[in-house]
Structure 1
């Protein structure tokens, strides 16, 4: 609708529904044999990103969002909370932070500090802090003369480095309000054991408070909490490797024709996720964000069988699906098909499907970090307004922006504080943008005008394909290793050789092996040190599984799969949709 005033034409904005979904996920970093956490990313993102994200929502009570927690992340957060409650810390880096006499630590622990405590985006998380930057410069100067020169760095250096690393990983909301953080950052160096213990206590308090804070927001109706199959498996591939060819017909596949019993394994992951979510939050989840937004018709059927009301994926998946559904029709402007719910015809037609706006999601994930926070927030809102202006009367658009809730902020000044604060403030007071959740959107409509989708082309939120997880030589080799382990698992579980407790441990270990993350990181385009870490974690998981099955570990499991060598955007933790 338009009206003319003087020489200008003003197009009235149709009201739109806006759903913002933050996906919170980390793979399982625990070694089940030793109980140790092999990498610190769960607790670091907890004190920085999960803390800041809930703080922004608390500060803007009229702002709604969907927050998706993968159960294996919640498992680890609860594990850390228990460690702080008992005082038995099983994370090596946290143990070092609390170690009274750093003069006596082993050479391997010294190396762990050096190797870990510069892992961040230096532009936003080191350069603003001269005392931290000075520690880095000292390390690099000595290392330039040979690794042996690092022995000259004292116990006080280690203490200061450990404190600064954790201060840099502390959320902006904490930094602005917590006296301990303010005092330590002002002090700058010479940190005592008492200082480190105080910081450790703050870390424990932040982690222990996280799940209750999100649950409180959910109980108030401000946010909807959704879930993902428990250990974040790439569900369509577990069900059928050949689903990768829906979007890439010539894709190379593993030697094994299929993952043994994959459909049943996906159902187990989903049932476990629903049970753990209900136990933690006191309500059954209405919807599921699939791992990596990866969907297929058989997977949606499993969701329908478990009573899930909604799911979501990427815009490219919808475009591919429309091309498959209507091969003789030209794909129209995205504004005419993207901003509406869909239902896939067949056994999964009880699941309402939404597809994210890739452009807006990628703007938050990759571009707005380079902008002033207010400018970025206003640009996003103006983009939403344009969608409303371009909508036809009566269209009632629903716009989905979906992305990681943790990985982008490392690249924003102040951990994205100003962007998120301004965005939420504008949206809270906007007359024509109705911020909602998928559950509320579905509940508010007596009849959902969902478009029929005859064919769902399997794919993910990355490129609309599964190329990030299968097809590459290294990734396919990893799938073959996993398939071989699953064959052994099936035989041993059917043999009656294991006790009930041993079977439970083996099942949990298998579930961890089935995570999509191991396949994400394999490949020459990823950084070598990250590839090495995740390659080792995957093979350690497989080796532990063979041990629990009381079988020898195959030699192929002991050999590295991939080596890396690339420098991807954002360190490879996120990928653009296209």
Structure 2
């Protein structure tokens, strides 16, 4: 069968971490940027490099790219004695002296070095598992901690980083293999050698994806600068389009949301071009959050395509059907345009994407890929006599693999192997499908605002904790606007305040607030959110109100996959 008769499949991997750096101190408060860089962003590039006939879309949040760059600068400065590494865990890895055993600082480092998947990472390595068992013993008997050898903490720090290392790096890098074989008693030279590998892997992220883009194997796309929910910045009331009865914050609007959304997109374009030396044609609006006003902003900034979850198109088709405006044969596996906007919108097959995120981790790789591809073949087969479908699989490029054996290497290798030579399916990119369309976009009058999670914004607004967080942000933005307009800040101070405000606008803070998320992670993110707000008030020279220092949310739930991923469909809300 000729390749142009094959059904296109787009694999879109979204790479994203929020702003973990305290811009006031330069310290990274959590290590997830560099850990996912050495484990996931590196491995995902290597899989594509190993399958040159494969194609994929890889989307980057600019705030992630800038943080990777900051890590590299800090490590280089440390190497030259010109500065410190701003991440406590990474700095401890190469510290000549570590906290006294049994001290609060010792316990803090010990606990942080155990924040890894217990089954897929810790228990996989006997030496790491023994250290974890010892840590649990020491926790239960704090009076004996002062007698622990300092080797315990140095070994634990090394194994933490070895455990988080990407699987393909693990297989190919002689230093990593040597350290794993050594197993214990790691010296300072060993730890510096490990840092060198971490630096090398992180430094390769940008160039490797840049090369994949230049060869045409990967289309690179971008999200708004700090990953905000654009529809909510533009209009908090847009949440009512999919949930008319949702409770909203006491503030009726986010002040100056139009200008902030535009700034976020312009900053994204500039940052993306600086890193990859090309202009982005596509924008994965943060969390697939779209609205008619968001499409207008994307078009204004020159983006040609975007994407969201299939519940958004279901809601939009239902609205069109109610008004007698739904074209025949409209379905989720087609490109769409809305109103007079020329941005083409593709929609995630939530069922297929969630199988990867939530089901296949415990399957044999061959069975999992066989099942996934069988579903794709059925979609292609049912389209005979109809417009040819476009099958979109979209999910995070980092969070799922922690739950797979060996960081998903077997599943991903098998997936690319099968799809790059499939007789009826072909891997494609969205820009390719715009340049050589397999079907014309379906025209609908209006996109019902929503996200890839349930087709609503309930993950970011509506819960009392989330609404309080929005009220804090709206209040801070009101003071920010007054100060920016009164001439009290110079241009450099204004720029710093703009960047600090952008961090506060990120989607992740609102994602985590609420009782259904794990307590530890909720507390981490709400403290970081409030710190960003306090820093913003300091930037504009206005005293932070007492409400900023009051705890917003506590958490306490046990969601699937730790809450870092959510399924596209709300099963509790589906009809039986």
Name the TM-score class by shorter chain: over 0.9
Equivalent of residue 233 in structure 2, options 229, 238, 245: 238
Q: How far does the alpha carbon of each residue in 1:111-152 deviate from its partner, in whole angstroms, 9 at most, with x for none? A: 23122111121110111111111111111122123x444333
Q: Aligned pair count? A: 561
Equivalent of residue 420 in structure 1, options 393, 412, 428: 412
Question: Could you say which residue in structure 1 is the equivalent of 2:73?
Answer: 82
CA deviation after TM superposition for structure 1 residue 383, in Å: 1.3
Q: How far does the alpha carbon of each residue in 1:482-519 deviate from its partner, in whole angstroms, 9 at most, with x for none? A: 00000000000001001111111111000000001000
Q: CA RMSD in A?
A: 1.7
Which moved further from structure 2: 147-156 or 134-143? 147-156
Question: Could you say which residue in structure 1 is the equivalent of 2:574?
Answer: none
Contact 2:101 2:146 in 1 (8 A): no
Question: Could you say which residue in structure 2 is the equivalent of 1:542?
Answer: 533
Structure 2: runs of 5 or more not aligned: 79-83, 570-576
Question: Could you say which residue in structure 2 is the equivalent of 1:386?
Answer: 378
1:273 equivalent in alignment to 2:268? yes
TM-score (norm 1): 0.95
Question: Could you say which residue in structure 2 is the equivalent of 1:563?
Answer: 554
Equivalent of residue 332 in structure 2, options 322, 331, 338: 338
1:140 equivalent in alignment to 2:136? yes
Contact 2:10 2:390 in 1 (8 A): yes
Contact 2:56 2:429 in 1 (8 A): yes
Question: Aligned in 2, Cα 1:305/1:332: closer, same or farther, shift over 3 Å?
Answer: closer
Question: Any idea what SS the aligned residue of 2:322 has?
Answer: coil
Question: Any idea what SS the aligned residue of 1:471 has?
Answer: coil
Partner Cα separation in structure 1 for residue 315 and residue 288 of structure 2: 14
Q: How far does the alpha carbon of each residue in 1:402-431 deviate from its partner, in whole angstroms, 9 at most, with x for none? A: 000000000000100000001101111112
Question: Could you say which residue in structure 2 is the equivalent of 1:401?
Answer: 393
Question: Could you say which residue in structure 2 is the equivalent of 1:210?
Answer: 205
Question: Could you say which residue in structure 1 is the equivalent of 2:117?
Answer: 121
TM-score (norm 2): 0.95
Map residues 21-100 of structure 1 onto 2, 5 A cutoff: 21-87=12-78, 88-100=84-96
CA deviation after TM superposition for structure 1 residue 109, in Å: 3.0
CA deviation after TM superposition for structure 1 residue 328, in Å: 6.0
Partner Cα separation in structure 1 for residue 137 and residue 274 of structure 2: 52
Which moved further from structure 2: 377-386 or 469-478? 377-386
Question: Could you say which residue in structure 2 is the equivalent of 1:373?
Answer: 365
CA deviation after TM superposition for structure 1 residue 281, in Å: 1.1
CA deviation after TM superposition for structure 1 residue 336, in Å: 5.5
Question: Could you say which residue in structure 1 is the equivalent of 2:522?
Answer: 531
Structure 1: runs of 5 or more not aligned: 1-12
Contact 1:14 1:389 in 2 (8 A): no
Which moved further from structure 2: 335-344 or 464-473? 335-344
Question: Aligned in 2, Cα 1:501/1:129: closer, same or farther, shift over 3 Å?
Answer: same
Partner Cα separation in structure 2 for residue 104 and residue 242 of structure 1: 53
Question: Could you say which residue in structure 1 is the equivalent of 2:192?
Answer: 197
Equivalent of residue 19 in structure 1, options 3, 7, 10: 10
CA deviation after TM superposition for structure 1 residue 370, in Å: 1.1
Partner Cα separation in structure 2 for residue 234 and residue 246 of structure 1: 15
Q: How far does the alpha carbon of each residue in 1:320-364 deviate from its partner, in whole angstroms, 9 at most, with x for none? A: 01111221679999x951111000013x2x100100100000001
1:173 equivalent in alignment to 2:164? no
Question: Any idea what SS the aligned residue of 2:543 has?
Answer: coil
Partner Cα separation in structure 1 for residue 262 and residue 144 of structure 2: 54
Question: Could you say which residue in structure 1 is the equivalent of 2:151?
Answer: 156
Question: Could you say which residue in structure 2 is the equivalent of 1:510?
Answer: 501
Question: Aligned in 2, Cα 1:142/1:461: closer, same or farther, shift over 3 Å?
Answer: same
Partner Cα separation in structure 2 for residue 394 and residue 318 of structure 1: 18
